[in-house]
Amino acid sequence: MLMDQLGYIISELPVLVLMIWFAVRLVQLRRARENRPAFTEDDRRILFEAVQNRGRTWRFYSRFALTILAVTALSVVEIIALAPFGAAIVAGALLLTAAAIVQRLLLHGH
């Protein structure tokens, strides 16, 4: 049983690493074409600074609930549709979808 699970992880790991590598290179290529640095001040702020705690209102909590609902619903659909393609593909798609939903509804929603 353990060997089967370990074999599955070993077979999926290269696909996940390749997807991460491709995504990083794609961002670097887009920034290079726009004559922007590969690592910006916004990247440093997002990755290393603490999150600023804004006042929580009913509007924030309604958007938060909508975000949870949207991520959950789309995750179920993606898992059903993409499960035959492997765990790495499902993980990448879930991460991309969840990040896009959170960015649209929580970070840039007004």
Q: Which two tokens stand for residue 24?
A: 């990083």
Q: What is the residue range of 103's domain? A: 52-110
pTM value is 0.62
72 shares its domain with 35 = no
Per-chain mean pLDDT for the chain: 86
The residue with tokens 């077979």 is 11
| Same domain assignment for residues 95 and 108 | yes
What is the per-residue pLDDT across 10-45, written as a single tens digit (0 to 9) for each? 888 888 888 888 888 988 899 999 999 988 888 888
**Using one digit for the tens of pLDDT, what is the confidence trace for 86-103?**
888 898 899 999 989 988
Query: Which run of H or of E encompasses 27?
Result: helix 2-33
Shared domain for 80 and 108, answered yes or no, is: yes
Question: Tokens standing for 78?
Answer: 């993606």
Tokens linked to 107? 């970070």
pLDDT at position 7 is 80
70 near 101, Cβ under 8 Å?
Answer: yes
* Rounded Cα distance, 40 and 38, in Å: 6
